[in-house]
Amino acid sequence: MPIFDLSHIRQSFPLIEQEARSGRVYLDNAATTQKPEVVIKAVEAFYHSSNANVHRAAHHLSTEATLRYEAARDSVKNFLNAQHREEIVWTSGATEAINLVVQTYGRRFLQEGDEVVLSLLEHHSNIVPWQLLVQEKGIKLRFLEPDDEGRVSIDQIRSVIGDRTKFVSVTQMANATGDILPLKDIIERAHEVSARVLIDGSQGIAHESVDVQALNCDFYVFSGHKIYAPTGIGALYGRYELLEIMPPWKGGGEMIDRVSLHGTTFALPPLRFEAGTPNIAGVIGLGAAIEWLATIDRTSAFEYERHLRRTMVSLCQEVPGFRLIGHNEDTSILSFIVEGSHPQDLGTLLDMQGVALRVGHHCAMPLMESLKLNGTLRASIALYNTTDEVVHFASALKKAVTEF
């Protein structure tokens, strides 16, 4: 039975233990999470004992590599509760996954005058690809904009997502503020007008259970490195009936059925979208991360993370000039400014005291412009962080503000 044992979890992360012995605190988990020993060993074991290319080869190393590689696809399928394993496409991360959908579904099915709805909370990776399609296809972008309390109302959802909307692409959790959109209402409205929906789960997936069938989205993307897996690997979930009608976006080996001098026929999904030699070690590492997460009581982990964040907010409110940016309490992200202090200066002073966090616009410049901010400081929590680390952070922040 899965359990949540903080001490055991801490011991699973060699770099977190190393940082703790040096008196340092890692609170930059929204940028990338640390990796448990089982993930590090899985990647090492692949290169040490079964390194070979996957699929088609007749020798035993390739067979073993292929079995481990495809087992990871099954792990992601089960983790997301997708209906079919063929609905899981390997990518280098959420950015590539979004670009894949834009360059395949978007280019094939969106026409001049069609509308794509995003939100003001999006990471650049869910804005720029669509802007490139605007230049090519003449589509129009519209944006859901949270009110002063961080909420997107039903009325706004129904107003912005209308008869001309053909695609909706929104985040599960905003990386810059931790705000969470009402996905159920957005997806229901989009499907009322026969629009397709993509959810960027890059931030949400590590802090909420995801069931793509219950969510009823058409596409879901995430990056492995946000969920304790290696960098350079991620996944796209897509309804099979949609993947089946989408054209390939990269040409090469693996994604073909047959090639002749006169033309090419393409493989069925997911291989159609996986041209070239894949990041085999990354895939195996992602599979190991997901299998490791299955040993943890994630409901308890989620509540623990929220407890840490509430504690962090309470302590930081004692800091002169502290102002919270973002409105959702059920999040792992604390985005803030301190009036009269530059975020970059504070970030440097915190680093000098052993606290690692993120400073800047967090690849969300349109949101920052709407907030009339140049950037924020962002402390972000993972399930291996502790109350002592939160106290250390808050004390270091107070010292940076009042003593330096």
In 3D space, the residue among 387, 341, 362, 376 whose CA is nearest the CA of residue 202 turns out to be 362
Q: What gap in Å lies between CA 160 and CA 400, rounded to an integer?
A: 43
CA angle 145–149–152, rounded 5-degree value: 35
**Run of H or E including 26:** strand 25-26
In 3D space, the residue among 342, 324, 344, 343 whose CA is nearest the CA of residue 334 turns out to be 324
* Active-site residue identified among 20, 296, 363, 365: 363
User: Any catalytic annotation for residue 316?
Assistant: no
Q: β-pairing, 234-238 with 219-223?
A: antiparallel
Task: Tell me the β-bridge partners of 377.
Answer: 336, 359
Eight-state DSSP code of residue 334 = E
Coil, strand, or helix at residue 333?
strand
CA within 13 Å, CB half, 232: 8
C-alpha torsion sign, points 6, 11, 15, 18:
positive
Length of the chain: 404
Question: Residues with catalytic annotation?
Answer: 363
